[in-house]
Structures are given as structure tokens and as C-alpha cells.
Amino acid sequence: MTNSIFDVAIIGSGPGGYTTAIRAARAGLTTALIEKANIGGVCLNAGCIPTKTLIALAKKFKRTNTSFSTETSNANNQFLDVSNFYKQKNRIINQFAAGINFLLKQSGVQIIKGHARLKNNQLIEISTPEQNTFEIQSKTIVVATGSRPKDLPSIPWVEQKILSSNEVLNHEKIPNHIAIIGGGYIGCEFAAYFNSLGSHVSIIEALPGILPNHDQEISQMLTRVFQRKGIDIITNTTVTSAQIDNQIKLLLNNSTQLCFDLVVICVGRIPNTQDIGLENVGIETSNGYIKTGKFMETSVKNIFAIGDVTGKMPLAHTAYTQGKYAVAGILKLLNKHGKESNFYNSLPDEPNYDSIPSVVFSDPEIASVGLTTERAKSLSIDPRISRFPLTASAKAVIDGNTEGFIKILADPVSLRIIGAHIVGENASELISQMAIAIQNKLTAFDLAQVTWPHPTTSEIISESIEGLIDKPIHFIPK
Ligand SMILES: Cc1cc2nc3c(=O)[nH]c(=O)nc-3n(C[C@H](O)[C@H](O)[C@H](O)COP(=O)(O)OP(=O)(O)OC[C@H]3O[C@@H](n4cnc5c(N)ncnc54)[C@H](O)[C@@H]3O)c2cc1C
């Protein structure tokens, strides 16, 4: 290991860490990236990429067969060999891991394998997998150590039986009856996946409904769709204990007992902020999350934090955006002005979390950005709301994907777009248009000047915008 002092050392190579490393190196900073496990973090190895691969494969298989069980074949007489899904998932992970490694090396990032721990605000101790320990020095540090699944104190993890989102991604068996504890987006995505494979799925949720942080109209629609597909949604219910014999017996707080072949616990995530030496430098935290300022700086001015450890919208693309701000802050602190300075200087004061979309890759997909109706009301905004159903979209009818709708919220006076929620095929692709509108403070009048191509599903946005001003053209709202 070189004895030189790095400009920036980044701890953790998830979507926050590795993109920040590439940015920093491209901006001319000498950059180290320290990773104790696999490059790509949770997103590539146990999150976004593996889940979306499995979901896409299961959806594709299901759509070629309207009614199949795990023993039957699909319409093309293909038997469901689920192990191929997992092989394909691993191929994709390996392909992207190789790609990220290549990009890091091409950008000049020094990759260091090992567990990092802050010794002081410029010194990091690294313990390698071979049990060696050494130190590196860096003028600035970015903590991007991510998060891990939260456990339920009343229920132990049991191999092959009671799993977290990590292990279930390598569980190559289709359970007859699976319980998913927790109805947030991760639980709902696993519910959609196992339902597509033919499992009987039960979601057990402590709150009154699934997707509690989403617009209630949207979560209610997903509830109806899930129920129609045969998914049981048990709300206002907690699991008090589990007993394992042939099956897993879950005891619920209402004293009923249910039996399952597999249980997956998806009750949230906790930040990886222990065991990284935060206490040695006095970085301030709140409930375990690292407190950050406008440029993702922590309470220690040359140490930055991004991604899930900040507790702000824990999504891969949030971490990407926060990384841009961290690099801007570091360039400023080190007084470096590279060719990228114009871009970094042009960043607004802090990331705008209201313009960051979130997606649930269920079937149909759900995508949201900005305020929900409930949140708008809690801020004393009585939003103007426009809805447009997919049944009135020519392209959705042509494609046979008419389940869903768009709902756009605008400020009642200026008609500035403040929120958008889409249920339907490709909602994940459509939502970015609304993110651009919110980020740029566009109004319904601005958007109504845009021409959308016909026939496309994206016309639901144009129709809904017309609805904010007056009425959609191809639909009469009730
Ligand atoms: C099942 C599931 C599905 C998801 N789906 C999506 C999705 O579709 N879209 C989306 O945007 N988000 C999704 N997420 C969330 C997304 O994966 C996270 O928000 C994202 O990975 C966070 O990125 P990060 O850079 O903060 O850290 P992580 O991705 O958590 O990476 C942190 C890295 O730091 C390393 N590390 C930790 N401590 C140390 C240390 N002391 N020394 C060295 N290395 C260390 C870890 O090994 C890890 O590789 C999903 C998450 C899960 C669990």
C-alpha cells in the first residue's frame, strides 16, 4: 500500500460509494474506495438488481401462462425450473460487478479490500480478509457504509425457514405458503414475486395498510390488486413468536396461529454505523443515522456521509445524488477547480428529496414522486388533483395493460406540480418526467405546452395535466 495521502477515501462501494469514487477520480482527486464485502453493495448484490431480475423473470414466465402451479408447465410447455432464475440473477450480478470494477480502475480509483474503521478525521484503519491491519491517510473521507436488514426481537433467523431479504434471494425453492412480515415496498415486491411463482402469499403488517408511506389511494389500489391475485393481507397485526417443526407456526397478537413453509422478515433496515469508529472522531448521529448538511458534510467538516447511513430516502438513486453533492463539497473544501467545476457549482444548495422518485416493482408497478395527498394536507396545502385512468389510454388498451392510473397533485393557486403517483405497467419509466417537473418547479401551464408522442402510455401525463387546468380531452372525470 502506498504511503501517499489520498484526497478522498470512501468507505463502502454501494451505489453511493462507487459512483462517488468515479466522480471524485474523474474530477482529478486521488481516490481510494474501501470495501469489506462485494463491490456494488446491497443494490447490486442483495437489493435492486437481484430482486428486479427475479421479478422480471417470474413476470415473464407468468404472462406466458395464465394458470400454472409449480408442478405445471407454462403455455409454451416450459416447466418452471426456478434454479435458472437464480443462475440468471447471478450472471447479471457478476456482469455488473465486473463492469463497476472496470470503471473504477479506468477512472484511477484505488480499490482496497477490507473493513475500514476511522481512527481520527484523516486516518482509517483497514483490516483485510487475510487478518492484516494497516492504515491509510486521506484529506477527506466519505462514509457510505449502507444498511442491513432489521430483525424482529421476538423471532429468530432460522436457516432455510425464517429469512431476511438477503437470504431469500438465494433460496431456490418455491414455498407453498409464504409469510412476508412487513408490507413496505420490499415486502410487497417479494409478495408479487412469490405470487407470480404460484405460492400462496400472506403479508402480515403491523399498520392499518400496506405501503404506509405512499399515497393512500395508491396503496389501496395495490391492496385490491393483491387481494384479487389471492395474496392475503393481514393488517393491524404483529407476530409475537415463531415455532419451528415441519412447518413454521407464527403466533399473532390476536392469538391466532398460522402455518407457513417459509417466512421472510422485511420490517425495515438499520444503518451500518456501528464498528466504523464514528466515536473516535465525534461524528453526530440521530437514531444511528449520520447527520449531514447541505453538501452531505457531517459534524466533522472533512468527513461526508451519503446513502442509507444518512436515513434520507434509502434508495440507490438517492445515494447517487448525494454523491454528487459530496464531491461538490469536497472540491470546495480542497479548493480544487477541475473541468467539472461548472457542474458541481451549479448544484442547488442541497438535494431536493421531493423530486426523488420511488418505485415499487410489483405487478402492476407503482411509482411516486413529491407529496402524497396526506402529506400535502398535513402541510395545510389543499392540492388540486387530477387523475387519468389507463383504460382511457389508447396505447395501454393496445398493449392490454389497462390496470392503473395516474394522479397528479398541484399547488391550488400556481398549479405548480407538487406530487405525482402512477400505478401501471412501466410506471417506473414514466415517473421521471414528473421528477423533472418537480425539480424545475414547472406548473401545469408549462407542461401543457409540451407535445407528447401518440400513441404512448406517457400521454396519461399530458391528459392529467390538462385535467389540472380544466378537463382531460379523452376522459370525463366523475
Ligand atoms: C431487497 C431490496 C431491494 C431494493 N430495491 C431497490 C430498488 O429497486 N431501487 C432502489 O433505488 N433501491 C433499492 N433498494 C435500496 C438500495 O439497495 C439501497 O438504498 C442502496 O444500496 C444504498 O446504497 P449505499 O451506497 O448507501 O450502501 P449499500 O448499498 O448498503 O453498500 C454499503 C457497502 O459498504 C460496505 N461496508 C459497510 N461497512 C464497511 C466497512 N466498515 N468497511 C468497508 N466496507 C464497508 C458494505 O459491505 C456494502 O458493500 C433495495 C434494497 C433491498 C434490501
pLDDT for position 76: 45
Across the range 315-334, mean pLDDT stands at 97
Q: How far is CA 186 from CA 191, 192, 264, 431, 460, in A?
A: 9, 10, 10, 19, 27
| Pocket mutation for ligand 1, best pick of 22, 42, 100, 126 (most atoms within 8 Å of C-beta) | 42
Arch. (CATH architecture) of 5-45+87-149+270-345: 3-Layer(bba) Sandwich (3.50)
Residue minimizing CA distance to atom 8 of ligand 1? 48
Let me know the angle formed at the C-alpha of 359 by 159 and 142, rounded to the nearest 5 degrees: 75
Going from the C-alpha of 33 to that of each of 45, 81, 421, the distances in angstroms are 17, 39, 37
The domain covering 364-469 belongs, at the CATH homologous superfamily level, to FAD/NAD-linked reductase, C-terminal dimerisation domain (3.30.390.30)
Q: Domain map of the chain by residue range?
A: 5-45+87-149+270-345, 162-267, 364-469
The pLDDT of residue 73: 47
- Residue keyed to cell 385490491: 224
pLDDT of residue 77: 44
Res 356: pLDDT: 98
**CATH T-level topology, domain 162-267:** FAD/NAD(P)-binding domain (3.50.50)
What distance in angstroms lies between residue 239's CA and the mean position of ligand 1's atoms?
A: 27
Q: Is 474 a catalytic residue?
A: no
Q: Nearest residue CA, atom 49 of ligand 1?
A: 41
Domains 5-45+87-149+270-345 and 364-469 share a fold: no
- Any idea how long the chain is? 478
**pLDDT reported for residue 3:** 57
Q: Whose CA is nearest to atom 2 of ligand 1?
A: 47
Cell of 312: 434520507
pTM (2 decimals)? 0.95
Provide the pLDDT for residue 296: 98
Mutate to test the pocket of ligand 1, among 133, 134, 145 (most ligand atoms within 8 A of CB): 145
Task: Quickly state the pLDDT bin for 75 (edges 50, 70, 90).
Answer: very low
Strand duo 147-149 + 269-271: pairing:
antiparallel
Q: Mind listing the pLDDT tens digit for each residue in 210-259? A: 999 999 999 999 999 999 999 999 999 999 999 999 999 999 999 999 99
pLDDT in tens, 143-202: 999 999 999 999 999 999 999 999 999 999 999 999 999 999 999 999 999 999 999 999
The per-residue pLDDT for range 217-227, each reduced to its tens digit, is 999 999 999 99
> Could you give the percent of the chain with pLDDT greater than 70?
96
Spell out the residues 6+ positions from residue 106 whose beta carbon is closer than 8 angstroms to its own: none
Task: Measure 114 CA to ligand 1 centroid, in angstroms.
Answer: 17
Distance, in Å, from the CA atom of 83 to the CA atom of 361, rounded to the nearest integer, reads: 21
Which of 115, 214, 317, 454 is labelled catalytic? 454
- Per-residue confidence (pLDDT) for residue 409, from 0 to 100: 98
Q: What residues flank ligand 1, with Cβ below 6 Å?
A: 11-17, 34-37, 41-43, 46-48, 51-52, 115-116, 144-147, 165, 186, 272, 276, 307-308, 314-317, 319
pLDDT at 71: 45
Per the CB < 8 A criterion, the answer to whether 90 and 98 are in contact is: no
Distances in whole angstroms, Cα of residue 350 to Cα of each of 113, 346, 355: 32, 11, 12
**Residue of the nearest CA to atom 20 in ligand 1?**
316
pLDDT score recorded for residue 80: 78
